[in-house]
């Protein structure tokens, strides 16, 4: 069983750096979104779209990359995949604790030899994804405009994940929930874990 630390340094660390560079480019170059929909509690999101809170194009900078298919936008997400928990009072606290639990579980499972075959690559990808988004939750709330005079805990609780990769699928008229590099790492890791479940069992040499 290979050691986890070398994989973290070779795979996780570069991906975390790329994740943070891309997110900070978005934060520093695109305006902070605000909602004009008063009935939604999360003040920096607009109307919900296909089950997720989506920013209206009039409320956020939108950079078309492939017209009608792929855009760069700035989305604040306090929830998780597909915006689950976004705008709730419990999300900032729960999703600040969960990453630490996830990292602990990955470490334990690695020592138990769960990550074998192609699944061994999922561990550093999971770590990169979890840490990348955890950094956002710990820091982004302190750079929000309008919160400069709030308390430390208020600004910490306002932490959010920066999503910016925005895809629209015209064939089915569906806008895929926006995501980032860290999210991609987690999805790829999950796919590798899923595929590893179908690997052929190694022959029992003792038998």
The single residue of 19, 136, 163, 166 carrying the catalytic annotation is: 163
Q: Taken in order 82, 104, 143, 41, is the CA torsion positive or negative?
A: positive
Q: Label the pairing between strands 161-169 and 174-179.
A: antiparallel
What's CA 175's distance to the chain center, in Å? Answer: 17
Q: How many CA atoms within 13 Å lie on the side-chain side of 172?
A: 6
Is 183 considered catalytic here?
A: yes
Question: What is the C-alpha to C-alpha distance for residues 105 and 146, in angstroms, rounded to an integer?
Answer: 37
Asked if residue 137 lies in contact with residue 162, where contact means CB atoms within 8 angstroms, the answer is no
- What is the three-class DSSP state of 157? helix
Is 163 considered catalytic here?
A: yes
The single residue of 19, 136, 166, 183 carrying the catalytic annotation is: 183
Question: What is the C-alpha to C-alpha distance for residues 129 and 193, in angstroms, rounded to an integer?
Answer: 15
Structure letter (DSSP) for residue 36: -
Q: Which residues are catalytic?
A: 163, 183
């Amino acid at each position: 069983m290979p050691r986890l630390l070398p994989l973290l340094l070779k795979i996780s660390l570069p991906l975390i750096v790329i994740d943070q560079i891309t997110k900070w480019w978005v934060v520093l170059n695109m305006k902070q979104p605000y909602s004009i929909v008063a009935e939604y509690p999360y003040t920096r999101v607009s109307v919900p779209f296909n089950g997720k809170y989506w920013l209206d194009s009039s409320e956020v900078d939108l950079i078309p990359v492939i017209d009608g298919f792929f855009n760069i936008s700035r989305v604040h997400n306090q929830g998780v995949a597909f915006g689950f928990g976004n705008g709730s009072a419990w999300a900032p606290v729960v999703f600040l604790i969960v990453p630490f639990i996830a990292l602990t579980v990955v470490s334990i499972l690695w020592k138990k030899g769960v990550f074998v075959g192609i699944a061994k690559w999922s561990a550093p990808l999971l770590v990169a994804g979890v840490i990348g988004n955890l950094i956002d939750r710990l820091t982004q709330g302190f750079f929000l405009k309008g919160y400069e005079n709030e308390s430390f805990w208020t600004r910490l609780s306002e932490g959010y994940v920066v999503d910016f990769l925005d895809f629209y699928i015209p064939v089915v008229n569906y806008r895929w929930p926006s995501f980032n590099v860290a999210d991609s790492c987690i999805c790829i890791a999950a796919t590798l874990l899923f595929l590893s479940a179908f690997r052929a069992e190694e022959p029992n040499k003792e038998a």
